[in-house]
Structure 1
Amino acid sequence: MTHPEKPAAPTGGERETGAAEEDPVTELLLSVAAVARRLGVAPATLRTWDRRYGLGPSDHTTGRHRRYAPRDIARLELMQRALLRGASSAEAAKYALTASVPAPRAQAPTAPAPVPVLTGGEFEAGAAVAGGRGLRMPGASRRARGLGRAVLAMDSAAAQQILADSLGEDGVVATWDQVVRPLLGAMAARWEHSGAGVEVSHLLNECVLASMIRVTPLVTTPRNHRPVLLACMPDERHNIPLYPLAAVLAQRGVGIRQLGAALPAEALRSAVRRIAPAAVVLWAQLPRYADPGALAALPRTRQQVRLFVGGPGWERGVVPPTAERIDDLGTAVAAIETAVC
């Protein structure tokens, strides 16, 4: 097929007045690098999507430079959002190619229509991940991988939507064990390997915390006469695992008091004296905070207090006979509920 010759470029400061010059959309064409920065992916990812799925630029300028029009970028955004929701690359591409895309305008494009929840296979091996280096998550669930893509893209709205869907369909225990924990482990491994991803870990923690709080009901008439006290070991700052525990206990009608992270030792002892709890659950993420002496220093109350300790910090520590170690969320809930109800 032959192409018509292009008219000579205007000279002497003159400006051509053809239709192409009058169309403001032609001024919005972006290069591969610009689109990659906009979407937060590598340029190689865009080339792969073009070669494999046909999601490429509709315009090639002189010298074979690839330029993306607004409609091309809108389809790429649809694909990226579908990937964040857990679709495979092939599913996301099919959705992006068949979905309705608004006609391009001269002004900034509006946000694309919401992407429906997509179901199906896992992400392809070696698929590029938004936001830089990926995460090692062998055997992880579709939702865990989708959540990983969302947090790497720093997309808290997508991350919280994935968590909300999982919590609504599968419950707190399954969401924690099958979606959140694998991702937390992958994030920790990534940080140990490269020292990168602190901001991503913080975003993930905030999303998990907010999601768990939303599904934690207010218990006005608890089944237990004395509450369960949930806290970290003195000065421990990693308290996220206590939130799913609080959510499940509250859903089962168990009254709790939650004190959060970095609690001073004296404040913990004061809380035990004031609340007189039926059980105390103390979390230690790091071994240096798994101190048996802090447990022995807890005040004695007139009524018996069941003491539970949890977290990887206790794996190599010495758990005194007065305390019971809890591991996974399901058994922890069962043990605490049996003890206080």
Structure 2
Amino acid sequence: MTPPEPAAAPLDDAQETVAAEDDPAHSVPLSVAAVARRLGVAPATLRTWDRRYGLGPSDHTTGRHRKYAPHDVARLELMQRALLRGASSAEAAKYALATPVPQPRLVRRTAAPPPLLTGGEFDTGSPPAGGRGLKLPGASRLARGVGRAALAMDSAAVQVLLADSIAQDGVVATWDDVVRPVLAAIAARWEHSGAGVEVSHLLDECVLAAMVRATPIVAEPRNHRPVLLACMPEERHNLPLYPLAAELARRGIDVRQLGAALPLDALANAVRRTAPAAVVLWAQLPRYADPGVVTALPRTRQQVRLFVGGPGWERGVVPSPAERINGLAEAADAVERAVC
């Protein structure tokens, strides 16, 4: 939204001035594809909002190729804003339809739109409708918002929410309180119905991108030798290593990511070439938690601290001198103590 025109008088909290933007995108009708690009959602999402909630183009003069007028786009922006603050799709649509939207020129509104957006949350006075969503009992509104955006295949909304959470609460809290509950709920949904693999993949990619963006370049590391993060051979679930890398980098620790399914000989070569201060080996599945890999690592002149993490190691044998780490915060603390 553009700021109010200079001649407009200041408004108090109960008033709001909204101006239609002067760029061509706001003055001419837009196609479905153009609106989708503008909002960062899929065209199929817009068609779903039109079919289910009546938030579609109001231009009936162009036949099959209906266009979104500026006030149609404004309603969609209101809905998207509500979704990003944790509302369900039905709640967000109700809010968008109930809120007055600007005409092409400056419009003054003197009443607050019902229902209210307060304190960063969507307050409707009633619980969101269930049935098709994720089961997230006890989860935060932010986690539920991420879950809804993931189910809608709206990667832009997922990434905005994750970026906001990392900026406000940090990597550890975002991973433990937002990402992990949603991942678990998607996995439970898949086990129950066999559906949602595409949602899981989309969320994985969004989380990976968010964690990479949250990982600073450590120009002057506190540790003299690097930390290697790698998956066990054949283990392809490497997503949890990204928040660990981000958190360690934010603490000033130099980390080298070696990725998923690293062959044993490649891992051994990396240890010889970098002489790391510590190595973290991740196993998501028990069949990949092979103690023989740990004992086969080459010995270097300087001591290397070995850590193993992941659900795969919970019931397996952890050979000495490796140490088991559980949880992101514990892992970051243990590695930091070992190398600094």
Task: Give TM-score, length-normalised by structure 1.
Answer: 0.72
Aligned residue identity for 1:327: N
Please name the residue that 1:316 is paired with.
Answer: 315
Alignment of 1:1-341 (within 5 A): 38-40=46-48, 46=53, 77-78=76-77, 80-88=79-87, 93-94=94-95, 96-100=97-101, 119-120=120-121, 125=127, 127=129, 133-341=132-340
Aligned residue identity for 1:249: L
Distance 1:125 1:251 in 2: 38
**Residue 71 of structure 2 contacts residue 103 of structure 2 at CA under 8 Å; is this kept in 1?**
no
Question: 1:300: how far off?
Answer: 1.1
The total of aligned residue pairs comes to 278
5+ residue gaps, structure 2, are 1-28, 33-42, 59-67, 105-116
% identical equivalent positions: 62
Please name the residue that 1:111 is paired with.
Answer: none
Distance 2:203 2:118 in 1: 20
Aligned residue identity for 1:185: A
**Residue 285 of structure 2 contacts residue 312 of structure 2 at CA under 8 Å; is this kept in 1?**
yes
Distance 1:211 1:335 in 2: 24
**Residue 39 of structure 1 contacts residue 77 of structure 1 at CA under 8 Å; is this kept in 2?**
no
Question: 1:88: how far off?
Answer: 3.5
5+ residue gaps, structure 1, are 1-24, 29-34, 59-68, 104-115
Aligned residue identity for 2:94: A
Aligned residue identity for 2:176: D
**Residue 42 of structure 1 contacts residue 128 of structure 1 at CA under 8 Å; is this kept in 2?**
no
Distance 2:44 2:214 in 1: 37
**Residue 82 of structure 2 contacts residue 122 of structure 2 at CA under 8 Å; is this kept in 1?**
no
**Residue 162 of structure 2 contacts residue 207 of structure 2 at CA under 8 Å; is this kept in 1?**
yes
Question: 1:86: how far off?
Answer: 2.9
Question: 1:274: how far off?
Answer: 1.1
Question: 1:241: how far off?
Answer: 0.7
Q: CA separation of 1:309/1:71 partners in 2, compared to 1, >3 Å: closer, same or farther?
A: same
Task: Give TM-score, length-normalised by structure 2.
Answer: 0.72
SS of 1:160's equivalent in the other structure is helix
- How much is the aligned-residue C-alpha RMSD, in angstroms? 3.3
Please name the residue that 2:112 is paired with.
Answer: none
SS of 2:170's equivalent in the other structure is helix
SS of 1:40's equivalent in the other structure is helix
